[in-house]
Amino acid sequence: MARIIAVAVPKGGAGKTSTTLNLGAALAARGQRVLLIDFDPQGNLSLSLRATPVSPSLYSTIREFITTWEPHIERVIVPSSIPNVDVVPTDVWLNESDEELRSADRREYVLRKLLEPVSPAYDFVLIDTLPYFGMLVKNALVAADELIIPMQAEFLATQSIEMMLKLVERIQRSGLNPLLRVLGVLVTQVDLRTNMGRQAEGYARTEFLGRVPIFTTAVKRTVRMAESQAMGQSLLQYDPDGEAAAAYRTLAEEVLNAA
Ligand SMILES: Nc1ncnc2c1ncn2[C@@H]1O[C@H](COP(=O)(O)OP(=O)(O)OP(=O)(O)O)[C@@H](O)[C@H]1O
Ligand SMILES: [Mg+2]
């Protein structure tokens, strides 16, 4: 079975989508078969991969599933431009699922059930999420075995990590997903040009020391990130010799070693 990893934190711009895409690309470069799920109606992951939603869409697949309970997510999986990486693209219609899921039976388990038949074909399933705690994020956290929490290297970001950890505790204690494991907090967008940027990484590491694993790898801020997304490529394709691509390769090592 695949290791299913959700990438989540209730803060916009933390680096969830960039991490899902580039960690996926780095794992694939190590020969892993990877499925990326764009579970954010903003559709940034799909856009970054130039993957347009197919018909039927993820939204209609969820809608049909909650009445029939016949899982057919395979219909919405498409190959990406990255070898070994498939993707389930989405668009703004997925917002409707958040509402519709509320009245579904076993409403937190829908994504988990949908993934069951396809996950044996992959080594990793990475789920990109939106920065708001609703049914979509809950579904991602119930479907996942593990969680990566990206954190922008700035002082305001620690509050969102606290909120995320509280939600994880709730998901575990309620029995929705007792085995959900926080793989680690990933410090992203470290700006070494400013004192604030340099201090923020150290501050985050001491703030959460002993409470939650923090990846040794940190990702520095680089203009190459936005450029690669504009070009529809992963950083490993667009700037393979850059520091950020190297960071995602080391992160992939950490993830592989944490099995
Ligand atoms: N290491 C980095 N260096 C420079 N820019 C980055 C880096 N990581 C992410 N960014 C940029 O920061 C912005 C937010 O990143 P990203 O979209 O990954 O965050 P997110 O958590 O998915 O946001 P949202 O909550 O809106 O989904 C994007 O424009 C992205 O290009
Ligand atoms: Mg995003």
**Which listed ligand is nearest to 223 at the C-alpha?**
1
- pLDDT at residue 209 tops 90: no
**pLDDT over 90 (residue 215):** yes
* pLDDT at residue 155 in the model: 81
* Cβ–ligand 1 contact at 131 (below 6 Å): yes
Q: Residue 134 has what pLDDT?
A: 94
Q: Is 225 in the pocket of ligand 1 (CB under 6 A)?
A: yes
The per-residue pLDDT for 37 is: 98
- Contact between 172 and 180 under an 8 Å Cβ cutoff? The reply is yes
First CA to last CA distance, the chain? 12
- pLDDT value of position 146: 98
Average pLDDT over residues 52-80: 95
Q: Whose CA is nearest to atom 13 of ligand 1?
A: 13
Query: Is the C-beta atom of 72 inside 6 A of ligand 1?
Result: no
User: What spacing in Å lies between the alpha carbon of 90 and ligand 1's midpoint?
Assistant: 18
pLDDT of residue 57: 94
pTM (two decimals): 0.98
- Of 222, 223, 225, 229, the one to substitute when testing ligand 1's pocket (max ligand atoms within 8 A of C-beta) is 225
Convert the pLDDT of each residue in 164-189 to its tens digit. 999 999 999 999 999 999 999 999 99
For 106, residues 6+ apart whose C-beta sits below 8 A from its C-beta are: 113
What confidence category does residue 259 fall into, taking pLDDT thresholds of 50, 70 and 90? confident
Residue-by-residue DSSP string for the chain: -PEEEEE--SSTTSSHHHHHHHHHHHHHHTT--EEEEE--TT-HHHHHTT-PPPSS-HHHHHHHHHHH----GGGG-EE-SSTTEEEE---TTHHHHHHHHTTSTTGGGHHHHHHTTTGGG-SEEEEE--SS-SHHHHHHHHH-SEEEEEEESSTTHHHHHHHHHHHHHHHHHTTSSTT-EEEEEEEEEE-TTSHHHHHHHHHHHHHTTTTS-EEEEEEE--HHHHHHHHTT--HHHH-TTSHHHHHHHHHHHHHHHT-
- What pLDDT shows up at residue 77? 97
Q: What integer pLDDT is reported at residue 193 of this predicted model?
A: 86
pLDDT at 223 over 90: yes
Look at ligand 1, atom 18, and give the residue with the nearest C-alpha.
15
Arithmetic mean of pLDDT, 61-82: 96
**Residue 44 Cβ contacting ligand 1 at under 6 Å:** yes
pLDDT of residue 103: 95
Compute the distance from residue 14 Cα to the ligand 1 centre, in Å: 6
Residues 118-172 pLDDT 10s? 999 999 999 999 999 999 999 999 999 999 999 998 888 889 999 999 999 999 9
* pLDDT score recorded for residue 69: 94
* Nearest alpha-carbon partner for 251 in 223, 208, 213: 213
Structural domains of the chain ordered from first start: 3-246 (3.40.50.300)
Atom 8 (ligand 1) nearest CA: 15
Percentage of the chain exceeding pLDDT 90 = 87
- Tell me the average pLDDT of the chain: 95
On the question of pLDDT at 33 being above 90, the answer is: yes
**What confidence category does residue 39 fall into, taking pLDDT thresholds of 50, 70 and 90?**
very high
Residue 12 Cβ contacting ligand 1 at under 6 Å? yes
